[in-house]
Structure 1
């Protein structure tokens, strides 16, 4: 079986070779991204390839970034669940730690994360019940192998369908592979149930109570980064063709996508603040993609000073409009207090 990342890398290299055969402008894929994709590295139209891992890690080195806040929530939920589980006398805190991490690993918003937690709880309880059936039937040898195969099959089938159904299959699978079938059934059921409950409780607390204002601050930061990246693109256009600014265009698209995700998260977490910022969001997106579209349409020629000045004015006007009403959010909070 071909490893997927390796296969994707080979596909990208074939794109590079084919581009060279056609005599088109060729860029070193490593200079644009270190993440295998199916996007040609010399592609001038969106979607561009993803930025490098170094760039994405660097831009996440902020306490309010989505990655940082997610890491904080994972740490707090996992440590809290493990410590309480040990304090209660249970000897498998790893069950609670793994459950908490699986619920938070993708950094879900509060509603989506809570739904995932409920799925985890229901699926785990039903899965423990299924394991109890296997335990009472005293599966051994080929019977145990069949049970493992069936659980693995349904875990794979439901992994992308329904998380609760997937957990129903993975819970007895994990217990059987951990040789829990040789332990007293009552101890396993009680321990596993309590550990799952602890993980769901502390995950929910982390989702709803830990740094609720970080989403709004992260959105403000990303708006600033988007405008900053527009300036980087304009700087590149002042010294070369748009094709020579492929990396800054790539980064600008990434910042615009990140800003869009941030405003969506803000709309779920704080609808009033998101509503106050929605005009800014539309302005950032229109301005950024206007600049990207211009580069796409004029990829291989130098931009005239008049065109560059017009683009710069477009960005400058957008920034000025954003600053026209700095009290917009203050008005929202004042309305709330009333």
Structure 2
């Protein structure tokens, strides 16, 4: 039986902003992910160039971004994750392209753009935070919607944009399937913990006190304000300001982490714009442009998990080349100026939203996650009085997911509200230990075996989780953690 993880008895010290800004983790172990990303784009884009459609080759990136959503996934689910992300990216690209075609240049275009992009951002943020698939998050869903919109306004047919993006999704799925097959043949069959079904995770987070809803609310308000400011200043592409606000806020209520992402976003974008200006002067096109963007996608994969500022340095020119393919005319100066100003607006709005919108939501989230975890634990204990079956296994998966949510909520409180959380941490750690003790014991029960006999004399659980031991934190009264 696996050991039960122990939460530290003292709350972790609040994260220092400096440590987040200048941390650089290892990168070269991700070279395979970088190769997959480069190939997923380069193959379909190269095919478009070879077919004489160089002008549209960059639109393949809108679908090829899906390959990044398979990174770190088990072999058995990797291709499905990429396909699901690809469908979402196609939907966002198509929505943006149709909006750009219908509304481009008409009265109210800016307002409609902000509304639609805000809805896309909120939907993506809620889905990502509720299901917890991991990086790269909601960024590319809004990016592809905005890019499709810009291309359609420049006169490219929506069917062409979506068709090229679909070719990119196909490239992402094929490359992912090949890599999964290679890993399987090599015996590198990475497995991950089972999680509840997607619809269960989405329904689970549909609560005003949940992390997903709080984050979605902040993102929606910040995107609407940042986009509204850009529109009021008569800028043509307010989505860049909205995208910046999304990136800063999309991971949740951790204020120090949000400030670090804001600084990373601003610094990375400024440096990336200078880099883009140099690349733009080279007038890359055809296979040379495809190779360039493939190299940028390789670099994004290397750094996206280690230092976000460096990743943004490469994301910025990638987004500009992909979104501006077939649309860019004249010099790069106005484009760079607008992106700089829009980024500054998005950063300022997002940082203010971190402190103003639902400033104590982390407390309510902690209490909500505690109640949810306790409820699941009680259901699992009741199920252990019956022979272990499929429902029992599902409850184990659900409890593991709920324990992680409760653990994350505690960490957010420790970083954002250290004084309030200090007196509550010991009870929080004990409750986590009790939950993991029950989970570990339940997972060891074979199918068809009754863990706790009806007479509560015979048990297949270890001593500390037998019928004579009742974890007080799980089966006692809720402690009112949000008070």
TM superposition score normalised by structure 1: 0.75
Give, in whole Å, the separation in 2 of the partners of 1:317 and 1:66. Answer: 22
The alpha-carbon distance between structure 1 residues 287 and 140, as it changes in their structure 2 partners (threshold 3 A), is closer
Q: Match for residue 75 of structure 1?
A: 220
Pick from 234, 240, 245: which aligns with 2:387?
Answer: 240
Give, in whole Å, the separation in 2 of the partners of 1:291 and 1:127. Answer: 49
Give, in whole Å, the separation in 1 of the partners of 2:347 and 2:296. Answer: 23
Q: Match for residue 127 of structure 1?
A: 272
Give, in whole Å, the separation in 2 of the partners of 1:78 and 1:289. Answer: 39
* Structure 1 position 107, deviation (Å): 2.6
Alignment deviations for residues 27-85 of structure 1 (CA, whole Å, 9 cap, x no partner) = xxxxxx9x9xx9xxxxxxx9851011122112101112111011111111111111001
CA contact (8 A) 1:152 1:173 kept: yes
Pick from 151, 176, 179: which aligns with 2:296?
Answer: 151
Counterpart of 1:239 in 2: which secondary structure?
coil
Q: Match for residue 306 of structure 1?
A: 456
The alpha-carbon distance between structure 1 residues 136 and 216, as it changes in their structure 2 partners (threshold 3 A), is same
Give, in whole Å, the separation in 2 of the partners of 1:11 and 1:147. Answer: 26
Q: Match for residue 318 of structure 2?
A: 173
Pick from 373, 385, 396: which aligns with 1:249?
Answer: 396
CA contact (8 A) 1:280 1:322 kept: no
Give, in whole Å, the separation in 1 of the partners of 2:78 and 2:192. Answer: 20
Give, in whole Å, the separation in 2 of the partners of 1:240 and 1:271. Answer: 44
* Number of aligned residue pairs: 298
Structure 1, unaligned runs of 5 or more: 13-32, 39-45, 331-338
User: In terms of mean alpha carbon deviation, does 314-323 or 253-262 score higher?
Assistant: 314-323
Root mean square deviation of aligned Cα: 3.6
User: In terms of mean alpha carbon deviation, does 259-268 or 240-249 score higher?
Assistant: 240-249
5 Å matches for 1:176-195? 176-177=321-322, 178-179=324-325, 181-195=328-342
Counterpart of 2:424 in 1: which secondary structure?
helix
* Structure 1 position 150, deviation (Å): 4.4
Greater gyration radius: 1
* Structure 1 position 9, deviation (Å): 3.9
The alpha-carbon distance between structure 1 residues 110 and 142, as it changes in their structure 2 partners (threshold 3 A), is same
* Structure 1 position 175, deviation (Å): 2.3
Give, in whole Å, the separation in 2 of the partners of 1:298 and 1:52. Answer: 22
Alignment deviations for residues 269-321 of structure 1 (CA, whole Å, 9 cap, x no partner) = 10122112112212212222222233234435322232589548614575548
Q: Match for residue 54 of structure 1?
A: 199
CA contact (8 A) 1:135 1:181 kept: no
Alignment deviations for residues 248-285 of structure 1 (CA, whole Å, 9 cap, x no partner) = 12211221111111100110110122112112212212
The alpha-carbon distance between structure 1 residues 271 and 175, as it changes in their structure 2 partners (threshold 3 A), is same
Give, in whole Å, the separation in 1 of the partners of 2:482 and 2:320. Answer: 51
* Structure 1 position 242, deviation (Å): 6.8
